[in-house]
Amino acid sequence: MRAPSSLKKEFMKKWISGLQACSSAKQHMNILERKKAIKLSADIAMASTRNGRTCWSRALIANASKDGENKALVEQLLANDEVEKLNNHKQQFSAGSVRPCCNNNKRVRCKKILKNIRCVRSRARKNVPRVVSAKSIAKRMVQKRTQVLKSLVPGGEFMDGISLVEETLDYIVSLRAQVDVMRILVKATETMNRKATTIN
């Protein structure tokens, strides 16, 4: 994983170029259009700092480029090789059956583990009376929370449990970097405004 400072620098550079592209594309924007442009450029900048190595970044870019107006901005912000990757992965996300994040070795290991667990459970079930156990309640809670997590992480609906956790951790690191950069910009803007009012 990259150092947070380099991630923040790259995000800030790409985000500022995205904001400039948005403002040059449309001169007079209302508040809602500005909000949408800021969010779109921040999302694309954050996803492009991952260079298409994560499912959430590819899903975020694919979702942003669905809209015709946004597609031009996405292509302008991303390099040509990233646009080609986007087109390849967009087909996979639309199919729904392909899971680009899942490593085959991990999947085979998981299947073997699950098979062993099922054998042990079937032996244990013969001796245990049918009562709602704490395990079944915990399992249902985990399943519900996993579904919520899949809805929060871009592209999460196409991930299995292991890759969902990995992608979520990476997504959180990127979101934290995004928030830190935005806070720095707000503080810098407030400082400049204070200096401008004291000079006048």
What digits encode the pLDDT tens for the residues 87-135?
555 555 554 444 445 455 555 556 666 666 666 666 656 655 556 678 8
Task: Give residue 89's pLDDT.
Answer: 55
Amino acid identity for residue 160 in this structure = D
pTM: 0.67
DSSP 163: H
Q: Which residues contact 149 (CB under 8 A, 6 or more apart)?
A: 156, 164, 168
Give the whole-angstrom CA distance, residue 41 versus residue 36. Answer: 8
Average pLDDT over residues 19-40: 81
Nearest to 41 by CA among 192, 194, 199, 185: 185
Average pLDDT, stretch 17-43?
82
The three-class DSSP label of residue 54 is coil
Give the pLDDT of residue 98.
42
| In the chain, where the domains are located | 4-102+136-199
Which residues of the chain form beta strands (DSSP E)? none
How far is 20 from 23, CA to CA, in rounded Å? 5
What is the model's pLDDT at position 160?
87
Identity of the amino acid at 41: S
Range in 9-18, 119-128, 136-145, 191-200 the model is least confident about: 119-128
Q: Which of 39-48, 64-73, 108-117 is the most confident on average? A: 39-48
